[in-house]
Amino acid sequence: MGNPQQPKRRVAFLLIDGVGDVSIPKFGFKTPLQAAKVPNLDAIASAGVNGLMDPVEVGLGCGSDTAHLSLLGYDPRVYYRGRGAFESMGAGLAMSPGDIAFKSNFATLDEKTGIVINRRADRHFEEEGPILCAALDGMKLPSFPEYEVRVRYATEHRCGVVVKGPNLSGNISGTDPLKDNRLLLQAEALDGTDEARHTAKVVNELSKEISHILVAHPLNAKRAAEGKNIANLVLLRGCGIRIEVPPFEKKHGLWPCMVAPTKIIAGLGLSLGIDILEAPGATGDYRTLLTSKATAIAKALSAPLQSCPNVFVPGEDEHKPGRSDGYDFGFLHVKAIDDAGHDKATIFKVKALEAVDRAIGQLSRLLWESESAGNFKYFLCVTGDHSTPVEYGDHSFEPVPFTICPLKDFVDAVGVETILGGSLDPFPLPTVKDGEHLAEDVKIEQGERSKQPRAFRGDSVYEFNEIAAARGCLGRFPGGEMMGVIKNFLKLDA
């Protein structure tokens, strides 16, 4: 008799945006990840193999879009065509070959001087953003009536802008000066083609017409009366076209899905043929419900035992059902850690990492219940796309920790009772009070963290952080090799 059929292998892949950091003096020269109490992340490292990963290459501080392309096996030097298409598609705008798109910010312009006072009119723009986008959607350009302009709200202060029409080029610069209190830029051709020069003229008129509409909108009069920044400008950057690439499933032999409320990541996933799942309450910012994300990924990886969440389709009002027999690769994206780095919110970054760790416990419980039924064998994989140190407030070039382990070994490290006894109730990300100090918290966390078991499988690493990962058996490797590492680990653990 032959061997019984092995359970199908499925991967829960958690990407913590901006997870990497540098040592901070007030933490006793530890990183926020070292200071945080993250027993589940530590258990994954203890139960698996670890390494340090440069998302694209050593010494390169990259954006999330190029980093994600690299991690998923698509060399950004070959395939990257600007981030605008990712943001716009993720916001719900369908794109066709020949369209151009921008990753855009609602901003505040001093109309007399032409200086961009605030690149972000308001980070919390969830109510006003959709209203202003509706006013801009379908606008006409007086000198270029042959072009169609589509605008859709994304998240926070962001929106997607797509221009459809003939002879457009993605090879132009944007209007965003990239820092506050600098002059608004004019779009310019980045090559000598007639298409690029023509496109720059179209985009410069688009920028002016957007401002005309926004200045006259009553919502801005209301904001001015309330003493708030007015949103009288949309900064246009990252001009791009939709990329044409081999689908993820064809490239890697794994059916992928993604939970990514952050629109640029969702749009990138769509460009690679990855289904984007609905997760109610997942917002892509500080208000997000991590439990909803964990539940959506668990259902998608557990099908056909459970029904898959619905799948987002750009350009359509309806959503289609998820893959009925489930997915092999579930990508869960967490944005709030990156926002904490950009906001230099040191204490929040620590507490948010602890919240992510709690969500990992919920995800693991749901997957363990499915694996216990004997239908699938699961693996947990965690990493980041780049470092966003709170000391810098921006992306940097430090490598990020990477870890992968079989779910069963993780459960052995934590204990079945702990996994099954964990609550599945949703919880918000933590809030930080003004004047709150972390010094006392660090002492408590370090004492509790020392109780974690040492490594028992894979390599000598038993903590998930930037320093410990350097001792891992995977060494230091480029992000373009990540999918190969994951697929090889699945085979080795057969």
Which has the closest alpha carbon to 482: 67, 22, 37?
67
pLDDT higher than threshold 90 for residue 62: no
Output the six-digit token pair for 244: 């044409």
pLDDT at residue 102 above 80? yes
Q: What percent of the chain has pLDDT over 70?
A: 92
- Whether residue 439 is predicted with pLDDT greater than 50 in this model: the reply is no
If one compares 438 and 423, the residue with the highest pLDDT of the two is: 423
Q: Is the pLDDT of residue 451 over 60?
A: no
Question: How far is the C-alpha of 368 from the C-alpha of 420, rounded, in Å?
Answer: 8
CB neighbour burial string for 163-187, b if at least 16 within 10 angstroms, e if fewer: bbbeebbbbbbbbbbeeeeeebbeb
Mean pLDDT for the stretch of residues 47-69: 93
Q: Cα separations (Å) of 28 from 87, 115, 414, 461?
A: 39, 41, 28, 21
Give the β-pairing of 275-277 and 311-312.
Answer: antiparallel
Residue in the block written with tokens 């990407």: 15
The Cβ of residue 468 has, within 10 Å, a number of other Cβ atoms equal to: 21
Q: Which CATH architecture has domain 8-79+247-492?
A: 3-Layer(aba) Sandwich (3.40)
- Which residue matches tokens 């990020």? 400
Phi and psi (nearest 5°) for 460? -90, 5
pLDDT of amino acid 60: 84
Terminal-residue alpha carbon distance, the chain: 19
Q: Name which of 12, 9, 10, 21 is nearest 361 in CA terms.
A: 12
HSE, CB side, 13 Å, CA atoms: give it for residue 408.
Answer: 10
**Range with the poorest average pLDDT among 101-105, 128-132, 183-187, 313-317:** 313-317
Query: What pLDDT digit, counting tens, does each position of 379-400 carry?
Result: 999 999 999 999 888 899 999 9
Cis check: omega of the bond before 304, within 30 degrees of 0: yes
Question: CB 331: neighbour CB atoms within 10 A?
Answer: 28
Asked if residue 6 lies in contact with residue 374, where contact means CB atoms within 8 angstroms, the answer is no
Question: Considering the entire predicted model, what is its pTM?
Answer: 0.85
Task: Determine the Cα–Cα distance for residues 148 and 100; give it in Å rounded to an integer.
Answer: 11
Sheet holding 8-16, edge to edge: 311-312, 275-277, 256-259, 329-334, 8-16, 376-383, 400-406, 49-54, 476-478
Residue 109: the pLDDT is 96
> For residue 183, what are the β-bridge partners?
115
Q: Which two tokens stand for residue 149?
A: 């302009």
Cβ contacts of residue 433 below 8 Å, gap of 6+? none
Mean pLDDT, rounded, for 436-455: 50
Alpha-carbon distance of 93 to 29, in angstroms, equals 45
The CATH 3.40.720.10 domain(s) of the chain lie at 8-79+247-492
CA-to-CA distance for 187 and 164, rounded, in angstroms? Answer: 17
Q: Is the pLDDT of residue 4 over 80?
A: no
Query: Positive or negative, the Cα torsion across 332, 336, 339, 344?
Result: negative
The shares of helix, strand and coil residues in the chain, as percent rounded to the nearest 5, are 35, 20, 45
User: Which residues are 11's β-sheet partners?
Assistant: 329, 379
Q: Where are the strands (E) in 251-306, listed by range?
A: 256-259, 275-277
| Beta pairing class for 100-110 and 49-54 | unpaired
Q: Which burial class, exposed, middle or buried, applies to 278 when counting CB atoms under 10 A from its CB (0-12, 13-18, 19+)?
A: middle
Structure confidence by residue, pLDDT tens digits, 86-100 = 888 888 898 988 999
CA distance 262 to 297: 16
Residue 258's nearest CA partner among 236, 277, 231 is 277
Residue 454 reports pLDDT greater than 80: no
Radius of gyration of the chain from its Cα atoms, rounded to whole angstroms? 23
Model pLDDT, residue 384? 96
Q: How far apart are CA 151 and CA 102, in angstroms?
A: 10
The enclosing H or E element of 106 equals: strand 100-110
